[in-house]
Amino acid sequence: MGKLKTQSLQKRHSDLANTNKQLEILSNGIFANGELPTFKNKISETSQFPLKAKALEILQINVGYMCNQVCEHCHVDAGPDRKEIMTKETMQQILDVLKTTGAHTLDLTGGAPEMNPNFRWFVEEASKIGVKDFIVRSNLTIIRANKKYYDLPEFFKKHNIHVVSSMPHWTRGKTDKQRGEGVFDMSIKALQELNAVGYGMPESDLKLDLVYNPSGAFLPGDQMAMEKDFKKALLEDFGIQFHNLFAITNLPISRFLDYLIASENYEDYMYSLVEAYNPAAVENVMCTNTLSVSWDGYLFDCDFNQMLELPVNSKAKHISEYNAELLEGRNIVISQHCYGCTAGAGSSCQGIVA
């Protein structure tokens, strides 16, 4: 892979590495002067405030912020310089909780989750417990990054992992612009290797889904139409097959917020999100059935709140304190970034929601 696209905000010592600064930006300006309604006011119009957590369905675990890539728009501010890595002890606490919950989905993310030294142990132990849908969010290039990762497709297959991978576009230029030089070619190779062991094939139970998120300051188009275009191009150009495409909206936080401000697109982007607000998407927004666990075991309503350091509004704040009764019915913590999940057909880690 070529040179990294950028550096993490932390490494750049950017003001935005401070989450309070990000939250301040999201609350000031056009939202403070009344030009645009705050998210709280918007959902109050349709009596959807406060958003309440339902029963837990998806347990999403961020096993660390370390990544072999430094994508331009990463909401995690991940990169090779990030040293936050989940310990085996925290993983064990999660396994203990997993045994007791009715969650049907376990969703591992990062960073590049495979870079956690205890990743394989965790996958093996979690798969013994058995969840209906066991997702690993793989950036694809990690499979080709080092010899020690070459067998990941076989490892995923052995544990019937549902692989979900990012792919911003079916063309090299747009993909490399967002994710770094050489990422496209490596991702294509990795997808071909996943196909070779049976992932993504039409009749295969080995699920391979792709995540599309826009490469710039615009919202994703229709998920079905995009999926059709992706499938046609990847099959014709590279013989690659996959199951579903999830269209995900970029939320205005972390490196994407930095990009929006630097490119003078912030206000227009927020207008686009607010104009595309869809109350039907609020009904199924992912924070109401998900818990996000950070590398150090703390609980959040979603991965975005985790990155903004907005903890759950509950007495149970850490995985070691997990208590379904305390967490169900909690008020979801919101700010203006939440408009990202309610625009158009909505957006979640599983794609559209409305």
Partner 1 sequence: MSKTYYDPADLRKFGKITEWSEELGNKFFEYYGKVFEEGALTSREKSLIALAVAHTEQCPYCIDAYTKDGLQRGVTKEEMMEAIHVGAAIKSGATLVHGVQMMNKVNKLDG
Rounded Cα distance between 265 and 268, Å, is 5
Q: Which of 271, 280, 315, 329 binds partner 1 (CB under 8 A)?
A: 271
Considering only 37-45, 70-78, 121-129, 216-224, which stretch makes contact with partner 1 by CB under 8 A?
A: 216-224
Nearest to 217 by CA among 261, 185, 155, 173: 261
Closest to partner 1 by CB, 17 vs 30, is: 30
Closest to partner 1 by CB, 203 vs 264, is: 264
**Least spacing, CB of residue 286 vs partner 1, in Å:** 22
Rounded Cα distance between 286 and 292, Å, is 10
Q: What is the DSSP string of 64-92?
A: BSB-S---TT-SS--BTT---B--HHHHH
Rounded Cα distance between 330 and 324, Å, is 10
**Least spacing, CB of residue 189 vs partner 1, in Å:** 22
**Least spacing, CB of residue 171 vs partner 1, in Å:** 6
Nearest to 136 by CA among 209, 67, 223, 245: 209
Q: How many CB atoms lie within 10 A of CB 323?
A: 12
Using rule CB under 8 A, residue 80 touches partner 1: no
Two tokens, residue 310: 């907005």
Using rule CB under 8 A, residue 219 touches partner 1: yes
Using rule CB under 8 A, residue 133 touches partner 1: no
Considering only 148-156, 171-179, 201-209, 280-288, which stretch makes contact with partner 1 by CB under 8 A?
A: 171-179
Using rule CB under 8 A, residue 225 touches partner 1: yes
Q: At what angle do helices 254-262 and 19-27 cross, to 10 degrees?
A: 60
**Least spacing, CB of residue 269 vs partner 1, in Å:** 11
Q: Which residues bind partner 1 (CB under 8 A)?
A: 169-171, 173-174, 212, 214-216, 218-222, 225-226, 229-230, 271, 275
